[in-house]
Amino acid sequence: MLAVCALAAMWHRKKPRNKKESGNKGKPAADQGGNRTPVTGAVVEIPEPILKEYRTNQEANQRESRHQKYIAIGGVVGAWIYAGIAVFQWCAMGGGQ
Neighbours of 6 (CB within 10 A): 12
Most confident of 26-30, 78-82, 89-93: 78-82
Prediction pTM value? 0.46
Q: What is the pLDDT of residue 76?
A: 98
The answer to whether the CB of 57 falls within 8 A of the CB of 1 is no
pLDDT one-digit tens code per residue, 37-64: 667 777 778 889 999 999 999 999 999 9
Please provide the DSSP assignment of 30-97 as one string. P--TT-PPPP--------HHHHHHHHHHHHHHHHHHHHHHHHHHHHHHHHHHHHHHHHHHHHHTTTT-
Higher pLDDT, 75 or 15: 75
- Give residue limits of the domains in the chain: 47-97
